[in-house]
Structure 1
């Protein structure tokens, strides 16, 4: 297995590389400071997994990198390893095609579980992290907006829908039945008096 470890900080890259070699003995670790550097150093490499580290004070990440990898290397799993839990960053990366989203202070067992899930082509976000992200999302709600009529769960689903996620994706991410998410979606549309996701997106991002 070939794993690309991309992080600005060499110490973090090296530490992650040592850990990965212990967990996956036959793995080849390719370290780079950024995606462009990785491409220059390994122009013909198509790794099985890319783990990209973000800094906690970074305000921008080009999600087109994830889209590019998914288009040119469809069998390559992609995990974002963030410096802090950030709702907008997590959702943007997952919608773009990332297989996993973790923060760097999570237990190492979560990283192993995330990797094992991602290389199977599935998505992974720890339950604890989902709770943190959804609480962040709810706290952003301005009580003077139409969204104030939604319950916390409905508001969370509304945010995911407005990001372009499908009902089955939300159900899998939140570990709920599809029927439960469909019911919440119907309640959202009824409370907001709308009939289309585009209308919901306009309200959420107003």
Structure 2
């Protein structure tokens, strides 16, 4: 049995949800809230000096996504358990988060009691997932709904497109030609089945990639 207080970090960019989580964690025996951050970058800086037991991680964050942060944390802080706490119910996003190393996947409509229980359970090496997410995960994937498989370069360009960078700016930053950028941009639009950059950004955000 775990007897010490479990340290918890929250990464959530919606203030009202962050405040609610803070209230739950601060009022729960056996848990110690170490901090609440609205960006993955700020949370990673904190973890560099103060690792925690459990990370409650949203997927849709302003810059680095929760999926990317999950991968980074699992590489650098192997003992930290990660529970995705999100509204995403798209099968491809759930799969991507689990493949990135998440130890649990909860929706934001989870009860206070279930959230607190989940934190203790993941520390006992139990995998946590709500029944509705389990059903989603094991249901057949409709054709064309899978998350596009992107190359490392495509991911870099997608992030920059999402930040509003122009073709020439992306070319300068990545030390490639504007023609190469446009080729990658066309490939991305083809993979996401869209016709312009605005639709590309919208669809990538929906899938938790931005």
Question: Scaled by the length of structure 1, what TM-score is found?
Answer: 0.58
Report matched runs for 1:3-152 at 5 Å. 3-41=8-46, 43-55=48-60, 61=65, 63-135=67-139, 138=140, 140-141=142-143
Q: Which runs of 5+ in 1 are unaligned?
A: 143-158, 160-206
Q: Which has the higher contact order (CA 8 A, sep 6+)?
A: 2
- Aligned residue number for residue 171 of structure 2: none
Q: Which 10-residue stretch deviates more, 18-27 or 82-91?
A: 18-27
CA contact (8 A) 1:79 1:101 kept: yes
User: 1:81: how far off?
Assistant: 0.8
Distance 1:26 1:93, change over 3 A: closer
Q: Deviations over 1:154-198 (max 9, x none)?
A: xxxxx9xxxxxxxxxxxxxxxxxxxxxxxxxxxxxxxxxxxxxxx
Q: CA RMSD in A?
A: 2.6
User: 1:42: how far off?
Assistant: 5.3
Q: Which runs of 5+ in 2 are unaligned?
A: 1-5, 147-210
Work out the number of aligned pairs and report it.
139
